[in-house]
Structure 1
Amino acid sequence: MSTAASDTTMSYIRKHYFATPLNSAISVLLALFTLWVLWSLFDWAVLKAIWGKGLNEECRAHEHGACWSFVATRWRIVLFGLYPFEEQWRSALACLVMLAVAVLSCMPAFWSAKRLPILWVLGFATFFVLMRGGVFGLTEVTERDWGGLSLTVFIFAAVCLLGMPLAIIFALLRRSELPWIAKTMALVIDVIRSLPLLSIMFTFAIVLPFVLPDWAIGDKLYRVIVGYAIFFACYQAEIIRGGMQALLMGQEEAAKALGMGYWHRIGYIILPQAFRNALPPTINQFVITFKETSLVTIIGFFDILASGRAAAGTADWSFATIEMYLFVGFLFFIFVFCLSRYGAYLERRMAVGSR
């Protein structure tokens, strides 16, 4: 750090935290309290913790530290849920495939309207084949046996894959020049956005089979994904529409004057800039979507949160509830933190929000 930057930082600290004797006393007390909390957490989570596999009796006898033996012993249930033990390598490989897709999506070489959808479709198809099996000599594992992290990743990827094209369609219909189309789409979006996500999941999981013909019912998991994708699309459509409204009207008018058709104007002028303008809320929407996948546990799916409860729900490990929630929370934190940091990088690269 340069001398000028250091002086600026010290000036800021003196001005905001040590300007008066009272401010100085409060700042010192809060700093000491923060250090005490951090030291207590470090002491509990590291210094006094129990490490190793299968040491539940030692954890019961030693109550003053964290029992990370729970994670070492029960991590398979948390990550893979009900997936057959001998086939769990497929679930792990499927998650790695989607991780690779996410990493490749961050590379500018794939930032095109053709490459990015192809990458996600191929990656998701590979993920599904690995999880479901029944082809290429893989044992078939039905959706009712899926669970853990892989189910959470599957729901999130499927919702985004279905929801993003729907969001673009909804946004275009919302700004249609035909009033009856625009008003109808606005009503649909506003109604769905006013409903809790959980009520939509319940509707698609439980109510919808009563009004659909037998051939259209399908599996409960896919009905929930469709309902979640529609919910995601309605929110994302308003984000995209906001990005479109931020554009200068003269750009579309100039494109019309040059003789460009509707789809060329949308594909080459409107949508690229709209997505650029809507980048911060879009990243936020992806983060919210990933976190809200945990709601599926309420309607009977064995996602990572339900798998964690099952892992800590036995008599041998019932005392490790805190460690279980910390482990699951850490997995969520890794994804959300990486996504938020990547979003911040994109904002700096594209100078979004600097105007």
Structure 2
Amino acid sequence: MAISAPSYPEKPPALELRFSATPVQAVVSLCCLAILVFVAWKLLNWAVFSAVFGTSGGPAACKAAAGACWSVITARWRIILFGLYPYDEQWRSALACLTVVVITVLSCMPTFWTGRRIATVWVVGATLYYGLMKGGILGLPRVGEEAWGGLALTLFIFVATCLIGFPLALCLCLLRRSKLPWISRTTGLIIDTVRSLPLISILFTFAVVLPFALPQWLQGDKLYRVMLGSALFFSAYQAEIIRGGMQGVPAGQEEAALALGLSYRQRIGHILLPQAMRNALPATINQFVISFKETSLVIIVGLFEILASGNAAYGTGEWTFAYVEVYAFIAFIYFVFVFSLSRYGAYLERRTSIGPR
């Protein structure tokens, strides 16, 4: 019997680098690239090369120019950032914004990732922020909440929403997982009801409708009612995110904890919740990003946040034509904060091995 020689697979062909599969696709790609270059050049020419930056010429120089009028930002930036806050006290509003940024950065550092340290950072930071904005202590003049506005108010609403809403979300999540049906079903009804309503309706209810149903001593300022409504909306969504993360934890781990005799607090605090937060990290970061952008909705109920401040910046007779530049500047501010949050979320995903490396 003749023995045939073993056959080996043919050598694979050399990998060819192609930018397109067919000539038609190459033409389409080049056309799209040309359009992108054209749009980028037009935008750069409008925003930089043909733009007016100084305030020497005033609105007349902007109207005569072919590019953007950044002079409105130079002339009206205080209104955009500080709103109606008294002019002589705006340094307090700027320092309060810096305080929020500092406590956020400290919270992102692993050194402060313990319960006591993170609580200390937020308690001290929130107290310092409120003391600077409100005044009435250390010789600072008192400024009412009706004068708060601009970027400082936007940051205050965002931080308060997350600071109140996240612990509330944990409570709602644990209550919905209760083995008592009347607790879990009631909590589920509350969560589903809040999630089924648009945020604007909740803010309007807390700002306008709720005072009619509460006694005078319990109404409080409109700003704090809006914060509570925003925190409730945040907590309903975040509770479901955390619950989804808990469902991703293998059931055998909780059963093993029960077999070891661990208490409910130990099972939740040391086994289930850390793994659930790890599983829910991408969705949690996304929820923080959404909450920051949704702070602009408080303009509907009459709060003077950064978007309303921007409207006031170009609302005068001499700058009404420069609304595009004002909105572009506000969009840039939102982009800086939101992009920073998303990049930090990507860092946490790499650190905890969640998502693509």
Question: What TM-score range do you get, normalising by the shorter chain?
Answer: over 0.9
- Alignment of structure 1 residues 109-120 onto 2, 5 Å: 109-120=111-122
TM-fit CA distance, 1:136 = 1.1
Q: Distance in 1 between matches of 2:231 and 2:120?
A: 19
- Alignment of structure 1 residues 1-355 onto 2, 5 Å: 11=17, 14=18, 17-53=19-55, 55-62=58-65, 64-353=66-355
Q: Distance in 2 between matches of 1:109 and 1:247?
A: 26
Per-residue CA distance 1:53-99 (angstroms, 9 max, x = gap): 2522100122x100111111110000000000000000000000110
In the other structure, the counterpart of 2:11 is none
Q: Distance in 2 between matches of 1:113 and 1:168?
A: 15
Letter in 2 for 1:40: K
Larger CA deviation: 266-275 vs 330-339: 266-275
SS of 2:320's partner is coil
Per-residue CA distance 1:238-285 (angstroms, 9 max, x = gap): 000011110011111111111111011111111111111110010000
Q: Distance in 1 between matches of 2:268 and 2:301?
A: 39
Q: Distance in 1 between matches of 2:327 and 2:307?
A: 8
Letter in 1 for 2:149: G
Q: Distance in 2 between matches of 1:242 and 1:122?
A: 32
Q: Distance in 1 between matches of 2:322 and 2:159?
A: 31
Q: Bigger radius of gyration, 1 or 2?
A: 2
Q: Distance in 1 between matches of 2:326 and 2:275?
A: 43
Per-residue CA distance 1:84-122 (angstroms, 9 max, x = gap): 000000000000011001111111011122322321122
Q: Distance in 2 between matches of 1:94 and 1:294?
A: 19
Q: Distance in 2 between matches of 1:168 and 1:222?
A: 21
Q: Distance in 2 between matches of 1:354 and 1:317?
A: 47
Letter in 1 for 2:106: L
Q: Distance in 2 between matches of 1:60 and 1:289?
A: 37
Q: Distance in 1 between matches of 2:68 and 2:212?
A: 48
Q: Distance in 2 between matches of 1:225 and 1:20?
A: 56
Letter in 1 for 2:333: L
Query: Once superposed, which parts of structure 1, at least 4 consecutive aligned residues long, lie more than 6 Å away?
Result: none
TM-fit CA distance, 1:158 = 0.6
TM-score normalized by structure 2? Answer: 0.94
SS of 1:327's partner is helix
Q: Distance in 1 between matches of 2:38 and 2:353?
A: 40
Per-residue CA distance 1:145-172 (angstroms, 9 max, x = gap): 0000000000001111100000000000
Q: Distance in 2 between matches of 1:271 and 1:247?
A: 9
Q: Distance in 1 between matches of 2:148 and 2:186?
A: 38
Q: Distance in 2 between matches of 1:354 and 1:24?
A: 30
Larger CA deviation: 250-259 vs 309-318: 250-259
Q: Distance in 1 between matches of 2:314 and 2:101?
A: 27
Larger CA deviation: 201-210 vs 112-121: 112-121
Q: How many residues align?
A: 343
TM-fit CA distance, 1:201 = 0.4
TM-score normalized by structure 1? Answer: 0.94
Letter in 2 for 1:59: C
Q: Distance in 1 between matches of 2:247 and 2:305?
A: 38
Q: Distance in 1 between matches of 2:319 and 2:110?
A: 46
TM-fit CA distance, 1:354 = 5.1
TM-fit CA distance, 1:298 = 1.0
Q: Distance in 2 between matches of 1:116 and 1:174?
A: 27
Letter in 1 for 2:268: I
Structure 2: 5+ residue stretches without partners:
1-13
Letter in 1 for 2:224: Y
SS of 1:176's partner is coil
Per-residue CA distance 1:208-233 (angstroms, 9 max, x = gap): 11111111100011011001101100
Letter in 1 for 2:181: P
Letter in 1 for 2:287: Q
